[in-house]
Structure 1
Amino acid sequence: MGLMDVDKTPMRDNTPKRVEELWFEDGGLVVQAEQSLFRVYRGILAARSSVFKDMLAFTQPPDAEIIDGSTVIRLPDTAEDVTYFFRAIFDSSFFETYPSKVCFDSVLSIARLSHKYSVDYLLHRALVHLSYEFPTTLSAFDERNIASPDFQNIRSTNLQDIMLTHESISAHLAVIQLSRRVNALWLLPLAFYQLAPAHKETIHDCLQCSAFATHPAELDGDDQILLLTFSILLSRMEHDALDFLHCTDDNTQCAGGNQCSRARLRAITQARNHMTTSTGPNPLEISKVYCPDIWDGLLETCCAACFTHLEETHDEARQKIWDKLPDLCGLPPWSELEKMKAEALD
């Protein structure tokens, strides 16, 4: 019975298949990646990529494989990566500049192969999309969580009652791996920040993950240690984030007295409960953008002078926390990372 079952199992069809949207009848080059075939234009590919230009300059041997009159070259990349990459090259409407909405998978594929095959304008475009999702300023970080059109499916905001999904975890790991590969180090602080887990299940997922969909998403040993250290240090910063609710003694303009004190005590309790139920350390979260219930529901009962004082003090505290993120990753300060970004993207 077992032998008969094996015999009846249909064989997998390994015959190469055309990718119809990237099979141009007048194309002069056939590219194979895994079991996918693409017929594309040699001249356009050579013009876009110096690597392909050099590759195609070699004289083909007499026994070179030919399909429909076109020379065949094989790439070691995945079919999915090559499909996204070629679509970006041969279809100008497929992968447009920010703020056009793009697929996160396509950004990873295009960035990776653009770097590998030296297609600078596509690598630049992919890094711009990623840079809006992983910004270098606190104001851009707050604005991104309100209005950014990109990557909603993988975004990890760590808001209360929202758990880090496996998809979000692996996506951020893929960004870290890609950032290391293409030297886009300015993406790393926020990528690590949004991964900083507090419970062992999330830590386990981060350390054991190897792929986001079909994309590599695995931390090397140094980055695994960095993630654990980052999480511990970030947890300590949560206390700094709440100091603004205690430090009001220097506000001599208070007109509310006990009413302001009670509002701050209720806000402290609410904020601590919020942090306890959150998925992990997130000291930047206790702000108007993420916790309107604390600000609009509790602190608005303070007098105007106290509310303004609390707002200014907290803004300063959040900025100090933000400024420390690159150092937690062993990177230079934001000012230097922004120069690196400007050199790469301008």
Structure 2
Amino acid sequence: MHSPVFRDMFKLPQSDTGKKSVSEFNPDNLDVVRMPDNGYQFIYFLKAIYERSFFQANKAVGFSDEIATSIIVLADKYDMQDLYREATHRLSGLPYSTTFAAFELRQACPHTTAQAAHSPRTRRVNITLEPFFLINAARRLQTRELLKMLPIAFYFATSMTAEALTDGVARKVLHKTLGEYGREVLDPEDARRCIEAKPKLVKASQDATRCFSLDTANLSPACAAKQRRSPCRVALERLSQAAAGADLANNTSPLKSREGWFDKRCTDAPMNKLCKDCQAHIKRLHKEAREKVWNDLKKLYDLEAWP
């Protein structure tokens, strides 16, 4: 792990050590280069370099998007490519998937990182998403890796409270003696994108759950072709009533899979059970609708020419 920026700093002319004065902040008379970087970001950056255990996958602190983006910003600035790649890899292990298939896999293990999802030795960690850090880092750096995560970051940001969208979120404090680090606030244009996307996501949720409605198109072709009221038609009618009662459509989470709810509904009682072909048909429609939402995220948030 090296940085050509830090390497070249040692080529700068050094001051005459005999003329330096001792101060409270420099008791050893060392040459000091004052950095313009944010202090809270620099702490995470140094910890990632000097305390490798701080960055291990089995540490809860390693799953913070705030920490990862802080390291990414400074690793990019100081051209530490190895550290940049490691931090972006860990960030993608959070729910900031770059493909729909990865997002689907991530939903199956919501409390662990993607890299650790299949490891029985990895303990479950509650992850608090703070997508503002990723959005702001992407706005600043505009690197390919961060831009690929941007649509899903905006999607998660939209579900945050109106207060958070306008006032930002508090940065974490590693130690109380270090004081407050202030708040991470979205650019006004990005906050506007999130606010304007809310009704669009509700509409997308309605589209993604239309497969549970009373429509013969939601039955398998064989069952839909039957003239009389078949058991699957009766089951679909009850399914649509249950979906309305569960209020699956009126939310801003159209990417959320409802397969678990659907499977439970089909197994609760024989009268609710659709045939296997109809179940597979509805699941396929649900997945296709959600995948369409995924593919439309960039357009939904007007990210084609972002920022």
What is the match of residue 15 of structure 2?
A: 61
The 8 Å contact of residues 114 and 123 in structure 1, kept in 2 or not, is answered as yes
1:143 and 2:105 matched:
yes
The 8 Å contact of residues 205 and 249 in structure 2, kept in 1 or not, is answered as no
One-letter code of the match for 1:55?
A: M
What is the match of residue 22 of structure 1?
A: none
Distance 2:189 2:276 in 1: 48
What is the match of residue 111 of structure 1?
A: 72
1:92-142 per-position Cα deviation (integer Å, ceiling 9, x unaligned): 44425x798624143232122212222121111111111232012222112
Bigger mean CA deviation after superposition, 247-256 or 180-189: 247-256
One-letter code of the match for 1:264?
A: L
Inter-CA distance 70–289: structure 2 relative to 1 (3 Å threshold):
farther
- Structure-to-structure mapping, 1:10-89, within 5 angstroms: 48-62=2-16, 63-64=19-20, 67-68=27-28, 70-89=30-49
* Matched position secondary structure for 1:81: helix
What is the match of residue 284 of structure 2?
A: 312
Distance 1:60 1:190 in 2: 48
Distance 2:287 2:197 in 1: 22
- Structure-to-structure mapping, 1:1-346, within 5 angstroms: 48-62=2-16, 63-64=19-20, 67-68=27-28, 70-96=30-56, 102-104=62-64, 105-133=66-94, 134-147=96-109, 149-150=112-113, 152-155=125-128, 168=129, 171-183=130-142, 184-197=146-159, 202-213=161-172, 214=181, 217-246=184-213, 247-249=215-217, 251-254=220-223, 257-275=229-247, 280-288=251-259, 292-294=263-265, 296-297=267-268, 301-332=273-304
What is the match of residue 117 of structure 2?
A: none
Distance 1:143 1:270 in 2: 27
Aligned residues: 268
Bigger mean CA deviation after superposition, 124-133 or 245-254: 245-254
Distance 1:129 1:272 in 2: 39
One-letter code of the match for 1:262?
A: V
The 8 Å contact of residues 275 and 281 in structure 1, kept in 2 or not, is answered as no
C-alpha displacement of 1:293: 3.5
Distance 2:206 2:252 in 1: 10
One-letter code of the match for 2:86?
A: R
User: CA-atom RMSD, angstroms?
Assistant: 3.3
Structure 2 unaligned regions, length at least 5: 114-123, 173-180
With normalisation by structure 2, the TM-score equals: 0.73
The 8 Å contact of residues 88 and 94 in structure 1, kept in 2 or not, is answered as yes
C-alpha displacement of 1:277: 9.6
One-letter code of the match for 1:229?
A: E
C-alpha displacement of 1:172: 1.6
What is the match of residue 28 of structure 1?
A: none
C-alpha displacement of 1:240: 0.9
Inter-CA distance 92–281: structure 2 relative to 1 (3 Å threshold):
closer
One-letter code of the match for 1:149?
A: T
* Matched position secondary structure for 2:70: helix
By percentage of residues, which structure has more strand?
1
* Matched position secondary structure for 1:73: coil
One-letter code of the match for 2:42?
A: V
* Aligned-residue identity in percent: 26
C-alpha displacement of 1:297: 4.2
With normalisation by structure 1, the TM-score equals: 0.66
The 8 Å contact of residues 142 and 289 in structure 1, kept in 2 or not, is answered as no
* Matched position secondary structure for 2:32: strand
Distance 2:5 2:247 in 1: 50
* Matched position secondary structure for 1:230: helix
Structure 1 unaligned regions, length at least 5: 1-46, 156-167, 334-346
C-alpha displacement of 1:289: 5.0
Distance 1:103 1:310 in 2: 35
